[in-house]
Amino acid sequence: MLNEYLPILFLLVIALAFSAGLLIFSYLVSPRIKNTIKQSVYESGFMPQMDARLRFAVRFYVVAMMFILFDVEVIFLYPWAVVYKKFITHGMFIFWEMIVFIGILFAGYVYLWKRGAFKWE
């Protein structure tokens, strides 16, 4: 039974050896010249304008999470639409299942709208 896992173990050993070899090679070949220009902060070719530890508003993260949430849920609509015609002969279960999914998605959208999550101030 363990013989079936030998190719996976072999591939894992090769991948680890290859990545370790690349790290060692880059360490051996890379130049180690330190000067003030290389040690300075680089921000797209300009001198930094403000502190790098700037705090972002929580609203930014909320909008990012909402985008990811609704985007991932909408991605589930595409495979459903592709196989819908194939499974329509089994009744309307697949249709009503997607209606419930869209209803839950819409309820979440309305909840966020009522909470004022879409107002950018």
Per-residue confidence of the chain (121 residues) as pLDDT tens digits?
778 899 999 999 999 999 999 999 999 998 888 887 777 776 666 666 767 677 777 777 888 888 888 888 888 888 888 888 787 777 678 888 888 988 998 998 899 889 888 777 6
Q: Which residue has the tokens 């999550």?
A: 117
Counting the structural domains of the chain, the total is 2
Report pTM.
0.48
Q: Are residues 62 and 35 in the same domain?
A: no
Instruction: Look at residue 26 and tell me if it is in a domain.
Output: yes
Domain that holds residue 92: 58-115
Instruction: Look at residue 107 and tell me if it is in a domain.
Output: yes
**Token pair listed for 50:** 């403000």
Instruction: Look at residue 106 and tell me if it is in a domain.
Output: yes
What residues pair up with 43 in beta bridges, in sequence order? 46
40, 42, 45, 50: CA torsion to nearest 10: -100
Residue 48 has what pLDDT? 66
Q: Are residues 108 and 66 in the same domain?
A: yes
Q: Are residues 65 and 29 in the same domain?
A: no
